[in-house]
Amino acid sequence: GLELEFSRVQFTPDLMPADITGSEVLEELPGTGRRELRFVPGPVFCNLLLADEINR
């Protein structure tokens, strides 16, 4: 097997770009209370992406 990472996106009229590419989340670190931005990748960061109903 190739061990590829697979993801699927269901296209809907209310889908936003951040739903596909990901976004940054503000997190507070436990213990220190320090806050930092952490990038949470969206489904586009994979080897094989299925885009379902892309013509909507």
Report whether 9 contacts 49 (CB < 8 A). Answer: yes
Please report which confidence band the pLDDT of residue 56 belongs to, taking 50, 70 and 90 as the band edges. low
Q: Full-prediction pTM beyond 0.75?
A: no
Q: What is the pLDDT of residues 36-52, one digit of tens each?
A: 999 999 999 999 999 99
Q: What is the pLDDT of residues 26-40, one digit of tens each?
A: 999 999 989 999 999
Sorted by where each begins, the domain ranges of the chain are 6-52
